[in-house]
């Protein structure tokens, strides 16, 4: 019998009780009053991220991303359950065909953490079927797909055994050149990038790209740097996407620091996303004008390759729309 990997043990220790988190963060009664005690999108927060949050504060940039607040109940006019119209691009609940040449697999509903602004927080995940037989067959039949994007949820929530099997099937698809992971998992539990995962990824014949999702320099640290260095040793390309979030990173100083810190970890800033108008996330909205100002100023401060593309997703468009 296999021993339970460290990352799974850490995942089990995540905060899921609001009461326990409020005690841990030493919130006073004024702050406790602002916390949302019940939500269908439950609290899920790794301990190492909780440890980075300033005590008795709801303004901490990490805390803001993960602590459910009553503000979530204010629904903005343009807010939707499915703000990017994922459901209209479903070939199955696990396969989205949004873009030419790229297929997107919803590999799992699970994540290492629950980000309150997540555009898939209301997505109707399929949990009854664990295989990807239909999805693999569909990609195979289309012949034209060059890249498979592993999304979710977070694809690194899958066990190494499950990932090994899935990647083996993707390896067998002739037209596929690139396997792309969209993941935030290592920010919460860097131990997820363990020896076995490195061995699996290093053994692939296809190009592997990781698009990390980090929003604030406080999320990056030495442990993450060490784990990412193992991916770089396997010639895996590391890019980052950030969501522009009010009270988290809507400042040029923070995005400048984020860009420098990312490159010191071997990661290139790729996208800065305008927030998708998801129900429950409208308190994170930053105007497009402010985003443009931030990017214009950022361009003066860092080399061009450290300026992320400022984009938003318009449902139905064949790629992200570049705002600036």
Q: Binding site membership for [4Fe-4S] cluster: which residues?
A: 111, 115, 118
Q: Which is nearer to ligand SF4, 150 or 173 (CB)?
A: 150
According to CB under 6 A, which one of 120, 227, 283, 312 is a site residue for ligand SF4?
120
Separation between Cα atoms, residue 159 and residue 179, nearest integer Å: 17
How far apart are alpha carbons 35 and 15 in whole angstroms? 15
- CA 307, 231, 179, 41 torsion: positive or negative? negative
Binding mask 204-233 for ligand SF4 (x = CB under 6 A): ---------x--------------------
Closest to 274 measured CA to CA, from 74, 83, 115, 106: 83
Please state whether the peptide bond connecting residue 220 to the residue before it is cis, i.e. omega within 30 degrees of 0: no
Which range of residues in 91-99, 106-114, 194-202, 261-269 is near ligand SF4 by CB under 6 A?
106-114
Is the Cβ of residue 43 or residue 139 nearer to ligand SF4 in the bound state?
43
Q: Is 258 in the site for ligand SF4 (CB under 6 A)?
A: no
Q: Which two tokens stand for residue 113?
A: 């953490």
Inter-residue contact 259 to 298 (CB < 8 Å) = yes
The total of other beta-carbon atoms located within 10 Å of residue 198's CB is: 16
Rounded to the nearest whole angstrom, what is the least distance from the CB of residue 152 to ligand SF4 in the complex? 6
Q: Compose the 135-174 pattern: x for residues touching ligand SF4 by CB under 6 A, - for all others.
A: -----------------xxx--------------------
Binding region for ligand SF4 (CB under 6 A): 111, 113-115, 118, 120, 152-154, 184, 213
């Amino acid at each position: 019998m296999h021993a339970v990997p460290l990352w799974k043990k850490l995942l089990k220790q995540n905060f899921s009780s609001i009461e326990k988190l409020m005690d841990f963060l030493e919130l006073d009664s004024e702050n406790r009053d602002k916390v949302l005690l019940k939500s269908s999108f439950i609290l899920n927060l790794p301990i190492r991220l909780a440890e980075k949050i300033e005590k008795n504060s709801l303004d901490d940039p990490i805390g803001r991303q993960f602590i459910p607040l009553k503000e979530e109940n204010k629904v903005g006019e343009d807010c939707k359950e499915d703000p990017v119209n994922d459901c209209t691009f479903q070939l199955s609940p696990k396969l989205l065909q949004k873009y030419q040449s790229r297929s997107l697999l919803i590999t799992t509903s699970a994540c290492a953490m629950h980000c309150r602004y997540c555009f898939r927080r209301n997505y109707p995940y399929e949990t009854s079927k664990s295989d990807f037989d239909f999805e693999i067959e569909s990609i195979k039949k289309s012949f034209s797909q060059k890249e498979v994007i592993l999304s979710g949820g977070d694809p690194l929530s899958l066990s190494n055994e499950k990932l090994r099997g899935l990647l083996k099937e993707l390896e067998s698809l002739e037209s596929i050149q690139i396997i792309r992971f969209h993941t935030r998992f290592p920010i919460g539990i860097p131990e997820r990038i363990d020896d076995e995962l490195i061995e699996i990824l290093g053994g692939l014949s296809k190009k592997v790209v990781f698009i990390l999702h980090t929003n604030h320099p406080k999320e990056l640290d030495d442990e993450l740097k060490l784990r990412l260095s193992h991916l770089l040793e396997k010639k895996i390309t590391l890019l980052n996407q950030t969501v522009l979030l009010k009270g988290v990173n809507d400042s040029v100083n923070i995005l400048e620091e984020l860009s420098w810190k990312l490159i010191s970890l071997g990661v290139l800033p790729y996208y800065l996303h305008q927030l998708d108008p998801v129900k429950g996330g409208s308190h994170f909205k930053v105007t497009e004008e402010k985003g443009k100002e931030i990017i214009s100023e950022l361009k003066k401060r860092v080399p061009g390759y450290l300026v992320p593309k400022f984009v938003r997703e318009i449902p139905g468009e064949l790629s992200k729309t570049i705002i600036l």
